[in-house]
Amino acid sequence: MTHSSMAYLALGTHVRLMAGIIALLASPVPGLAQSQALQQSPRGQVVELTEQPFFMDGIGLSVKFPLGSIAQATRIGGRRTVQVVPETSEWIINIQTPQMSNAATTIKEAADQTLALTQGAYGVTDPDQKLILETKAKVLGRTSNLIVTGGAVCERLYVSVPRPDGTSLVKGYSIFKPSANQFVVFELITAEDKFDAVRPLYEASVATATFLDSETLNTSRGSLVKSGAAFFAGLGPDEFAKVLTGEKEIVHRLYQPARTGSGGDSTELGFRTMRFWKGPRSELGGYSGRRSGQEEGHLARIQARLLRGDNVIDTQGVYFMTLDRSEEAWMLTTVVWGAKGERLAMATETGARTGTDLNVSVSDSGKTAEEVRPYVPEEGYISQLELFMLHRLMVSRSMQAELGTYTYQSQSKTVSLRRDLMSRSKGSSAKAAWDIKTWYRDDAAPVTFVYDADGGLVRSSLEDGSIWEAADREALLASWRRKGLPTGAIGTNR
């Protein structure tokens, strides 16, 4: 694995780690940015797709994209839509969600209209612009009543259109109608000389599209998201003030218990510190966002050190959110140190959001920054700062209900749904008051966290057997020194 890949792993790990939600892997694995799933395209080729689906809950859509691609929010013709872009610039997939006033309109008729508009844009019409006399748009193929893997039916159309330089583009359309007035269009755009290579990716991705009916949508994911949105909408200044720590830091230790059962024989894997306070945006340091740096809001500083073989991975992030929750900004830095204290790699991430417009910039070891605009749902999104505060806020409100929230994930560079369910603790510890189960995706097993009555973490056991628990900073550092482990300032040296 390259040094830059290691840095990217650390970058992707940080957000989940700081929220206390990652089942840390014993060793780095390929496919760092996104988990991999194999999908056979309708033409027989095996295509690598993201393991975690992308959701558009407003229309009940779930779909997987080609591995390495990113779903971004954009505007086409004044309409907010989703644009899927790969690491290369060989293709684009636009997901559009037009609505028809006439519920009787079929997907075949919608495809007919799409074809007519395309032919008209590259053709000659009669004086009344009703008939297309000739066109340079060439139909490459059309399939009606196509049933994709998930059972949904679509109309598919491929058209070749000329470009000014003499080459041609291929535009592909897969048109679905998940409800009476709602259409969903997957539009492919690629150069004609790339079409044969890109077509299997597009068709394999569209084949994973599934749609929840409106009743299911409203009673499952939709109701959870509404619960999450209502929970945060009901939080006032006093609720946030209860979970702020001011100058005090929260310290957690990550370790692998020893088979002997002796605490002194356990293997140290890392630690993290968290601090939450109220202050001006300028305390982000180096990034003030769109408004004055004196604007007041809530801030968090999250720092961590992880041990991975001979390497040390340091992460530190500062997060800001306005008091009305409408804006946020953050800065995140990850550094990988070698066995001799040499810096192997560094990755940085900065993010800023106003309303549903989220912009994230990621740079890896001096490479050109990658700009990402993830799709943010209209309802249920919470800021990075609220992500770190979520469990403490739930404990503060004794929130014994399941909440669904959308959060930005650095690892996948997308906004995805998570679920959190709190109940009275069944743990044996005298401090245990609340259990919170967190699901990071629908098909994943939950991670359980045990908290005391004040929202302090008592214990969380991860999938590999390692454990997070609260710790005293000085005692923790003293233990690390006795074991010869690095205790230098995070982000500056080992």
Q: Cβ distance 183 to 110 under 8 Å?
A: yes
| Residue given tokens 């603790």 in the structure block | 425
| pLDDT of res. 78 | 57
| pLDDT of res. 304 | 95
| pLDDT of res. 452 | 95
| pLDDT of res. 222 | 78
Q: Cβ distance 406 to 382 under 8 Å?
A: yes
Number of CB atoms found within 10 A of residue 489's CB:
11
Span between the terminal Cα atoms of the chain, in Å: 21
Q: How far is Cα 387 from Cα 274, in angstroms, rounded to an integer? A: 13
Instruction: Tell me the whole-structure pTM to 2 decimals.
Output: 0.74
| pLDDT of res. 25 | 24
| pLDDT of res. 17 | 33
Locate 375 and state its tokens.
């799709």
Q: Which amino acid is at 183?
A: F
Q: How far is Cα 328 from Cα 370, in angstroms, rounded to an integer? A: 19
List, in order of start, the domains of the chain with CATH numbers: 65-207 (3.40.1000.10), 223-482 (no CATH)
| pLDDT of res. 3 | 32
| pLDDT of res. 5 | 31
pLDDT tens for the chain, 494 residues: list them: 333 333 323 333 333 333 332 222 222 222 223 345 556 656 667 889 988 788 887 788 889 999 989 888 876 655 678 999 998 889 999 999 988 888 899 999 999 999 999 988 887 666 666 666 688 899 999 999 999 987 899 999 999 999 999 999 999 999 999 988 889 999 999 999 999 999 999 999 999 999 877 566 556 677 899 999 999 999 998 999 999 999 999 999 999 998 876 666 789 999 999 999 999 999 987 544 445 678 899 999 999 999 999 999 999 999 999 999 999 999 999 999 998 889 999 999 999 999 999 999 998 876 778 888 888 988 999 999 999 999 999 999 999 989 999 999 887 788 888 999 999 998 778 889 999 999 887 667 889 999 999 999 999 988 888 999 999 999 999 999 999 999 988 877 66
